[in-house]
Amino acid sequence: MFANGCEQMKTAIWLPGLNEAANFESPIPLKPTPQPSKRIRKRDRDRAERVRLAGGPKPTLRERAVALALEKGEVRTKDLTEVGVHRCYLARMVDEGLLVKVGFGRYRAVPPKAV
């Protein structure tokens, strides 16, 4: 009877008492808490869908200016304003090192650095 009781104690589930800590692992894996979903407005969802269907976002003004300057070699202020790049951005792009001012109203793209 004593041996039989020990076997039963080995297979029995142990529960902690009042002043005891539960030092056991749960056999059921705990699921991570789901992240709260971000609610976006319908018009923003629709715009994102239109952009995705159109093949991605439109190029920025900087990208347009550099692409035109690389394509033509040397561009005038008039050429850049025709593609939507305003004159006030040209000085900023020269300061950033995207364009080089060649002369009055003429710009060149900085050649890309070899990596």
Helix (H, G, I), strand (E, B) or coil at 45: helix
Residue 91 lies in a domain: yes
Residue 77 lies in a domain: yes
Residue 80 lies in a domain: yes
Q: Domain tally for the chain?
A: 1
Residue 33 lies in a domain: no
Helix (H, G, I), strand (E, B) or coil at 3: helix
Which residues have C-beta within 8 Å of that of residue 16, sequence separation ≥ 6? 22
Could you list the residue range(s) of the whole structural domain that residue 82 is in? Answer: 61-109
Residue 78 lies in a domain: yes
Sign of CA dihedral 90, 66, 79, 47: negative
Question: Tell me: the pLDDT tens digits for 61-109?
Answer: 888 888 889 999 899 999 988 988 888 888 898 998 888 999 998 999 8
Question: Tell me: the pLDDT tens digits for 3-61?
Answer: 555 555 556 666 666 666 666 555 666 667 666 667 888 898 888 888 888 887 778 88
Residue 11 lies in a domain: no
